[in-house]
Amino acid sequence: MPNIDIAVIGGGHAGCEASLAAARLGKKTIMFTMNIESIAMMPCNPNIGGTSKGHLVKEIDALGGEMGRNIDKAFIQSRMLNLAKGPAVHSLRVQADKVKYTQEMIKVLEHTENLLIKQQEIVEILVQDNKVVGVKTATGTIYNCKSVVLAGGTYIQSRCLIGEYIEYTGPNGLKSAKAISENLKMLGIEIRRFKTGTPARVDARTIDYDKMEPQYGDEQIVPFSFSNINSDITKEQLPCYLTYTNLTTHKIIQDNLHRSPLYSGVIEGVGPRYCPSIEDKIVRFSDKERHQVFVEPEGENTTEMYVQGMSSSLPEQVQLDMLRSIPGLENVEVIRTGYAIEYDCINPLQLNHSLELKFIEGFFCAGQVNGSSGYEEAAAQGLIAGINAVLKIDKKPPLVIDRSEGYIGVLIDDLVTKGTLEPYRMMTSRAEYRLLLRQDNADIRLRDKGYNVGLIDETTYQQFIFKKQAITNEIERLKTAYVGTNEMIQSILAKKGSTALKSGVSIAELLKRPELEYKDFDMIDINRPNLEPDIIEQVQIELKYEGYISRQLKQVEQFKRLEKKAIPQDIDYEEVYSLRSEAVQKLKEIRPISIGQASRISGVSPADISVLLIYLEQLRRRK
Residues in 31-60 that interact with another protein by CB under 8 A: 51-52
Question: What 3-state DSSP class applies to 612?
Answer: helix
**Whole-angstrom Cα distance, residue 542 to residue 511?**
10
Q: How far is the CB of 514 from another protein (least distance, A)?
A: 5
Q: How far is the CB of 215 from another protein (least distance, A)?
A: 9
Asked whether position 580 contacts another protein by CB under 8 A, the answer is yes
Asked whether position 246 contacts another protein by CB under 8 A, the answer is no
Q: Distance of alpha carbon 103 from its chain centroid, rounded? A: 21
| Binding residue for another protein, selected from 231, 575, 585, 588, defined by CB under 8 A | 575
Asked whether position 566 contacts another protein by CB under 8 A, the answer is no
Q: How far is the CB of 409 from another protein (least distance, A)?
A: 18
**Whole-angstrom Cα distance, residue 237 to residue 219?**
9
Asked whether position 397 contacts another protein by CB under 8 A, the answer is no
Binding piece for another protein, criterion CB under 8 A, among 23-31, 86-94, 168-176, 249-257:
86-94
| Binding residue for another protein, selected from 363, 407, 424, 545, defined by CB under 8 A | 545
Asked whether position 584 contacts another protein by CB under 8 A, the answer is no
| DSSP state string for 410-459 | HHHHIIIII--SS-B---GGG-TTTTTS-STTHHHHHHHHHHHHT-S-HH
Asked whether position 542 contacts another protein by CB under 8 A, the answer is no
Amino acid making up residue 474: E
**Whole-angstrom Cα distance, residue 188 to residue 529?**
61
Q: How far is the CB of 412 from another protein (least distance, A)?
A: 19
Asked whether position 208 contacts another protein by CB under 8 A, the answer is no
**Whole-angstrom Cα distance, residue 244 to residue 571?**
56
Asked whether position 610 contacts another protein by CB under 8 A, the answer is yes
Q: How far is the CB of 343 from another protein (least distance, A)?
A: 25
Q: How far is the CB of 46 from another protein (least distance, A)?
A: 15
| E strand or H helix that includes residue 117 | strand 115-119
Count of H-run helices and E-run strands, the chain? 20, 23
Asked whether position 564 contacts another protein by CB under 8 A, the answer is no
**Whole-angstrom Cα distance, residue 222 to residue 234?**
10
Closer to another protein by Cβ: residue 69 or 544: 544
Closer to another protein by Cβ: residue 566 or 607: 607
| Binding residue for another protein, selected from 128, 287, 487, 577, defined by CB under 8 A | 577
Q: How far is the CB of 423 from another protein (least distance, A)?
A: 16
Total number of residues that touch another protein (CB under 8 A): 49
Closer to another protein by Cβ: residue 29 or 308: 308
230-239, long-range: CB < 8 A, 24+ apart: 230/533, 230/534, 233/72, 235/75, 235/76, 235/78, 237/76, 237/77, 237/78, 238/76, 238/77, 238/95, 238/297, 238/300, 239/77, 239/214, 239/215
Asked whether position 292 contacts another protein by CB under 8 A, the answer is yes
Q: How far is the CB of 279 from another protein (least distance, A)?
A: 18
Asked whether position 515 contacts another protein by CB under 8 A, the answer is yes
| Binding residue for another protein, selected from 427, 494, 500, 523, defined by CB under 8 A | 427
Question: What 3-state DSSP class applies to 1?
Answer: coil
Site string for another protein, 462-501 (x = CB under 8 A): ----------------------------------------
Binding piece for another protein, criterion CB under 8 A, among 204-212, 262-270, 298-306, 605-613:
605-613
* HEC profile of 160-197: EEECCEEECCCHHHCCCECCHHHHHHHCCCCEEEEEEE
Asked whether position 623 contacts another protein by CB under 8 A, the answer is no
Q: Is 219 left (phi over 0), alpha (psi -120 to 50) or beta?
A: alpha
Per-position b or e across 217-242, b if 16+ CB within 10 A of its CB: beeebbbbbbbbeeeebeeebbbbbb
Binding piece for another protein, criterion CB under 8 A, among 254-262, 439-447, 497-505, 604-612:
604-612
| DSSP state string for 477-506 | HHHH-EE-S-HHHHHHHHHTT-PPPSS-EE
Strands (E), 208-308: 213-215, 240-244, 292-297, 304-308
Site string for another protein, 88-117 (x = CB under 8 A): xx-x--------------------------
Binding piece for another protein, criterion CB under 8 A, among 219-227, 518-526, 534-542, 548-556:
548-556
Binding piece for another protein, criterion CB under 8 A, among 31-39, 247-255, 263-271, 615-623:
615-623
Q: How far separated are the first and last CA of the chain, in Å rounded?
A: 52
The 8-class DSSP code of residue 513 comes to: S
Cβ-based neighbours of 392, under 8 Å, separated by 6 or more: 146, 147, 354, 356, 361, 362, 364, 398
Cβ-based neighbours of 249, under 8 Å, separated by 6 or more: 322, 325, 326
Q: How far is the CB of 508 from another protein (least distance, A)?
A: 17
Q: How far is the CB of 474 from another protein (least distance, A)?
A: 23
Q: How far is the CB of 577 from another protein (least distance, A)?
A: 5
Q: How far is the CB of 595 from another protein (least distance, A)?
A: 8
Strand partners, 79: 93
Asked whether position 608 contacts another protein by CB under 8 A, the answer is yes
Q: Residues interacting with another protein, by CB under 8 A?
A: 51-52, 81-82, 84-89, 91, 292, 294, 427-429, 432, 434-435, 514-515, 545, 548, 551-552, 555, 558, 561-562, 575-578, 580, 599, 605-611, 613-615, 617-618, 621-622
